[in-house]
Chain A
Amino acid sequence: MPTTSSLQIGADDLAFPRLNALSYWLYLFSGILVGVSFFQGSTFAGGWTMYAPLNTPAYIPGEGLGATSVVLALIMFTAAVTMGSVNFLTTMYRMRAEGLRMRDIPIFSLSINLTVWMMLFAFAALLAALMILASDHVIGTTYFQFANDGSTLGTSAENPGASLLWAHLFWFFGHPEVYIVFFPALGAMAEIFQTFTGRRLVGRKWFIISMVLVAIQSFIVWMHHMFLTGINLPIKTIFMATTIGISLPFDLMVFSLIYTMAKGRVRFKTPFLFSLGALLLFILGGITGVFLGAIVLDYQFRGTYWVVAHFHYVMFGGATALIGGLYYWYPKMTGKMYDEFLGKVHFATFFVGFNLLYFPMFIAWETPRRVFEYPADLQIWHNLSTVGGFILGASMLVMFYNLFVSIWRGEDAGESPWKYASTAEWAVGSPPKLENFPGLPSYASGSLEFLDDEEVAERTGKPPGAGVAADGGTASDGGTARNIRAVTAPATPTAAAHETGGEGHASHASFWPFLVSLGGFIAFLGLSGVRTGSPVYVGMAAVGGLATVGSLVGMTRESFHAPEMAIAERWPFEGVEKMKLGMWTFLASDVVLFGGFIGSYAFVRVAYGWSDWHHDLIPAEHVTMPGLINTYLLLTSSFLVVLAMVAAKREWRGATTASLAGTFALGVGFLVNKGIEWNHLFHIHSEMFPNGWTLSTNIGSSTFYLTTGLHGAHVVVGLVICGYMTIRAWNGAYQGDDKPIEYFGLYWHFVDIVWLFLFPLFYIL
């Protein structure tokens, strides 16, 4: 997927190759940690939605450390996803082929772009939810804990918002996630339709607008998963409207695909069969989804097989198109053709199996989910489903066999085995070379061309292979004699120029990402068992933590350079070099992370009673002054960072170093002040809080310590970077080049801004 997408937009690599490696290794180790968690027991014991408070240690049978590990594994996974998102967006906005405006990029790439945007924000919300849950597990906060004091009145609870808070956080992530899964399939479907009907996508502009609308709206429909939770009628009405609103763009996209077939030359090859099948399944999923949009019906469908059948038609329907995509791009990935007959056999059995598996669920919809007992008269439908399930599973074996064997036996695919294929990936060899293209891709003339190094040099005024960014380099060069190679010419890669041109393709070989991820894996595995006090677990947490920090430092010190493309389309981020864009993108997701924490605080406080909160839960010893002092410290440190930039620009080495050192000192002061304050609050002995005010004392203390603690962790990270930069400045770095200080400043000021809200919320109001 990433490969196809970067080929389609004409990028020669990802913007941050080493970050990509880190993302990959974190992803791998998060998977391993999930695997390990099964051996510790109770992994996902409360289902994948992990509803609170069933997801808290009080309700997890036995030791059940797997339930903790899996949350930590998901945190690791989310970190990998966020890095990937930052990397992808930067690539798409900084490294598009010349002439390729955002609206011009192929529909599959566009679907990936929107998917990644949704990932950036949705996974940040999930990260907040997971971090809070992990802290409930590991350090004993009480966000999701519902204390049953033995009375029969549910409202006597100290934390009445506990259960609903998780539902909100989870579905705020969960609904965009549906489209995150579905959009790539939609993009693949549209791409395959174009190729196999020999028609350009009808209503392409509206198709794109629809996708953008869905991506935005996906963040304001989440409560339709919660219609029965007792949320009020106005909010139900609003979310009913947004839900219907989000279904309409899909209507348009379906019709757009249908009309793309009109006047086409439809060829029923395997990729098209799967895409057409996916469209039909999606139509059924869509119609049954309208049923759920009617809240009166939704109430009764809640927790039944209607929901199960509906979302499988939609999401597994989407996966069907992705299988089509696998067949479609298989020749590109391997250079070999799959066996068409076996492909058709796969589709036939897949489609029959799919419908036999899921359609009877609509008929047997009264079956409750996740029970092993159901009304006897529904048995025949469940039996059919079971048969369908086996057929569906078996059909996949046909595919695995086909794709595996074809690597050796398949015919050579050439550059493009598909008539009417139009996107850039089909203009290069199969499989593509490491540097993707035989020259710098450009659409400046209206169709794809590859510029060779001399051409690039002439345009940028830099020697070939210098790999220096030419910002906003979209200048047109009418009439110059150009040394170009039209795409219709046979493929004779002129990649030699890349290899000999000095830097050439960035080396991905760094072992630090692997070590960082390994360290994280060990640390998280240790953390999962820290509450048992077992020295093995505690030791692993410590060793793993040290290894992670150590290898992160190692990674920073390693010299690594991935040049920006010399000429590229960069709207709407011209003039924002890739490091800065990457940092901003990361900060945008961090906004949502803190938003999740602050939103959680606001929610549990409203649930408790906004005004009673302060009186009931917060000790008198919790005063404004430490917060105010810390506000002054952080504001001053931010001021010093911008002064450091000024000094660096004017090449005042001493002033640069002093300003950075001052920032470091103020940050340390912030932490020391916080430490004194916390220590005091931990050990107060008042009438209300005879045993101190600790993390587990009440929901008020939990929100205070965890939210400001997350902020404190951000300060620590900032200090590590700041300390490193202070030393480098002392050794003469940054003189005349304030960019690195600016990147650090973006982060540090952000941490400052967050505190500007935490201070009033947790110290004054």
Chain B
Amino acid sequence: MDWKGYTLIYVVLFVFATIQAVVEFVGLVDSAYWLAFGIIMVLSVVKAVGVAAYYQHLISEPRSVTYMILGGTLGAIALTGAAAYSIV
């Protein structure tokens, strides 16, 4: 990837971060909490995937590197999700 591609990614990341804050500033977090929660978390995931794929170049590594990171992520999600669910 050359500097133009990197710049494009950067702009997208910047805009998404701004949208997340805007969601709060317009009061969506207070009025429709779980909708806001959904929007914000989805944006975070998209940003994370963008950074990992293009800045960390996961897209051009063997897929096994991605699987390894996904493995750790799944472990973390299992811990977070199952533990929190256990007391709901």
Tell me if A585 and B68 are in contact (CB < 8 A): yes
The CA-CA distance from A756 to B55 in the complex, in Å, is: 14
Shortest CB–CB separation between residue A75 and chain B, in angstroms? 19
Shortest CB–CB separation between residue B26 and chain A, in angstroms? 12
Segment at the B interface, from A244-252, A359-367, A719-727, A757-765: A757-765
Q: Within 8 Å of chain A (Cβ to Cβ): is B27?
A: no
Q: Within 8 Å of chain B (Cβ to Cβ): is A752?
A: yes
Given the complex, which residues of A lie within 8 Å of B41, measured CB to CB? 760
- Near A by CB (< 8 A), chain B positions 18-62 give 18, 20-21, 23-25, 29, 33, 36-37, 40-41, 44, 47-48, 51-52, 55-57, 61-62
Segment at the B interface, from A40-48, A415-423, A504-512, A624-632: A624-632
Residue of B nearest to A223 (CB): B86
The CA-CA distance from A631 to B17 in the complex, in Å, is: 7
Tell me if A576 and B61 are in contact (CB < 8 A): yes
Q: Indicate the member of B3, B77, B78, B82 with the most A CB atoms within 10 Å.
A: B82
Tell me if B65 and A573 are in contact (CB < 8 A): yes
Interface residues on B, range: 35 or more
Tell me if B71 and A588 are in contact (CB < 8 A): yes
The contact of A639 among B6, B20, B56, B80, by CB within 8 Å, is B6
The contact of B64 among A573, A594, A642, A646, by CB within 8 Å, is A573
Given the complex, which residues of B lie within 8 Å of A575, measured CB to CB? 61-62
Residue of B nearest to A746 (CB): B56
- Near A by CB (< 8 A), chain B positions 57-88 give 57, 61-65, 68-69, 71-73, 75-80, 82-88
Total contacting residues, chain A, CB less than 8 A? 67
Tell me if A602 and B23 are in contact (CB < 8 A): no
Tell me if A588 and B79 are in contact (CB < 8 A): no
The contact of A584 among B14, B65, B75, by CB within 8 Å, is B65
Given the complex, which residues of B lie within 8 Å of A235, measured CB to CB? 82, 85-86
The CA-CA distance from A505 to B68 in the complex, in Å, is: 30
- Near B by CB (< 8 A), chain A positions 740-762 give 742, 745-746, 749-750, 752-753, 756-757, 759-760
Given the complex, which residues of A lie within 8 Å of B80, measured CB to CB? 595, 598-599, 602-603
Given the complex, which residues of B lie within 8 Å of A576, measured CB to CB? 61-62, 65
Tell me if A639 and B44 are in contact (CB < 8 A): no
Q: Within 8 Å of chain B (Cβ to Cβ): is A183?
A: no
The CA-CA distance from A624 to B30 in the complex, in Å, is: 14
The contact of B3 among A168, A230, A581, A646, by CB within 8 Å, is A646
Tell me if A232 and B44 are in contact (CB < 8 A): no
Shortest CB–CB separation between residue A699 and chain B, in angstroms? 15
Given the complex, which residues of B lie within 8 Å of A333, measured CB to CB? none
Q: Within 8 Å of chain B (Cβ to Cβ): is A354?
A: no
Q: Indicate the member of A742, A745, A759, A765 with the most B CB atoms within 10 Å.
A: A765
Contact with B along A595-608 (1 / 0, CB 8 A): 11011001100110
Given the complex, which residues of A lie within 8 Å of B21, measured CB to CB? 624, 628, 764
Tell me if B87 and A232 are in contact (CB < 8 A): yes
Shortest CB–CB separation between residue B70 and chain A, in angstroms? 9
Q: Within 8 Å of chain B (Cβ to Cβ): is A641?
A: yes
Q: Within 8 Å of chain B (Cβ to Cβ): is A638?
A: yes
Contact with B along A98-130 (1 / 0, CB 8 A): 000000000000000000000001001100000
Known: A584-B68, A631-B17, A756-B47. A121 touches B75 (CB 8 A): yes
The contact of B87 among A598, A606, A646, by CB within 8 Å, is A606
Q: Within 8 Å of chain B (Cβ to Cβ): is A72?
A: no
Given the complex, which residues of B lie within 8 Å of A756, measured CB to CB? 17, 44, 47-48, 51
Given the complex, which residues of B lie within 8 Å of A602, measured CB to CB? 80, 83-84
Given the complex, which residues of B lie within 8 Å of A480, measured CB to CB? none
Q: Within 8 Å of chain B (Cβ to Cβ): is A164?
A: yes
The CA-CA distance from A611 to B29 in the complex, in Å, is: 11
Contact with B along A348-375 (1 / 0, CB 8 A): 0000000000000000000000000000
Q: Within 8 Å of chain B (Cβ to Cβ): is A444?
A: no
Tell me if A591 and B73 are in contact (CB < 8 A): yes
The CA-CA distance from A528 to B65 in the complex, in Å, is: 38
Tell me if B79 and A599 are in contact (CB < 8 A): yes
The CA-CA distance from A588 to B33 in the complex, in Å, is: 32
Known: A231-B86, A587-B69, A750-B56. A125 touches B79 (CB 8 A): yes
Known: A641-B55, A642-B6. A595 touches B64 (CB 8 A): no
Contact with B along A556-594 (1 / 0, CB 8 A): 000000000000000011111000010011011111101
Q: Within 8 Å of chain B (Cβ to Cβ): is A219?
A: yes
The CA-CA distance from A380 to B80 in the complex, in Å, is: 46
Tell me if B76 and A749 are in contact (CB < 8 A): no
Q: Within 8 Å of chain B (Cβ to Cβ): is A636?
A: yes
Contact with B along A614-652 (1 / 0, CB 8 A): 000000000010001001100110110111001000000
Shortest CB–CB separation between residue A242 and chain B, in angstroms? 10
The CA-CA distance from A231 to B13 in the complex, in Å, is: 39
Tell me if B10 and A635 are in contact (CB < 8 A): yes
Tell me if A757 and B44 are in contact (CB < 8 A): yes
The CA-CA distance from A46 to B63 in the complex, in Å, is: 45
Shortest CB–CB separation between residue A123 and chain B, in angstroms? 12
Tell me if B69 and A596 are in contact (CB < 8 A): no
Tell me if B6 and A643 are in contact (CB < 8 A): yes
The CA-CA distance from A752 to B54 in the complex, in Å, is: 13
Shortest CB–CB separation between residue A458 and chain B, in angstroms? 28
The CA-CA distance from A632 to B16 in the complex, in Å, is: 11
Tell me if B79 and A638 are in contact (CB < 8 A): no
Q: Within 8 Å of chain B (Cβ to Cβ): is A220?
A: yes
The CA-CA distance from A224 to B35 in the complex, in Å, is: 34
Tell me if B62 and A595 are in contact (CB < 8 A): no
The contact of B72 among A168, A595, A611, by CB within 8 Å, is A595
Given the complex, which residues of A lie within 8 Å of B83, measured CB to CB? 165, 168, 172, 599, 602-603
The CA-CA distance from A742 to B58 in the complex, in Å, is: 12
Shortest CB–CB separation between residue A666 and chain B, in angstroms? 13
Shortest CB–CB separation between residue B87 and chain A, in angstroms? 6
The CA-CA distance from A631 to B87 in the complex, in Å, is: 32
Known: A588-B68, A628-B17. A232 touches B24 (CB 8 A): no
Known: A753-B48, A764-B23. A231 touches B76 (CB 8 A): no
Q: Within 8 Å of chain B (Cβ to Cβ): is A700?
A: no
Q: Within 8 Å of chain B (Cβ to Cβ): is A161?
A: yes
Given the complex, which residues of B lie within 8 Å of A624, measured CB to CB? 21, 24-25
Tell me if B86 and A753 are in contact (CB < 8 A): no
The CA-CA distance from A60 to B83 in the complex, in Å, is: 27
Tell me if A220 and B82 are in contact (CB < 8 A): yes
Tell me if B75 and A592 are in contact (CB < 8 A): yes
> 14 A–B contact pairs at CB < 8 A?
A230-B87, A232-B86, A573-B65, A576-B61, A576-B62, A590-B72, A594-B76, A602-B80, A606-B87, A607-B87, A638-B55, A646-B2, A749-B51, A765-B40
Q: Which 5 A-B pairs have the closest CB atoms?
A: A595-B76, A599-B80, A591-B72, A572-B64, A231-B86
Known: A592-B72, A745-B55; 13 extra A-B contacts, CB below 8 A, are A220-B78, A591-B75, A598-B80, A599-B80, A602-B84, A603-B84, A606-B87, A624-B21, A635-B10, A639-B10, A745-B56, A749-B55, A760-B41
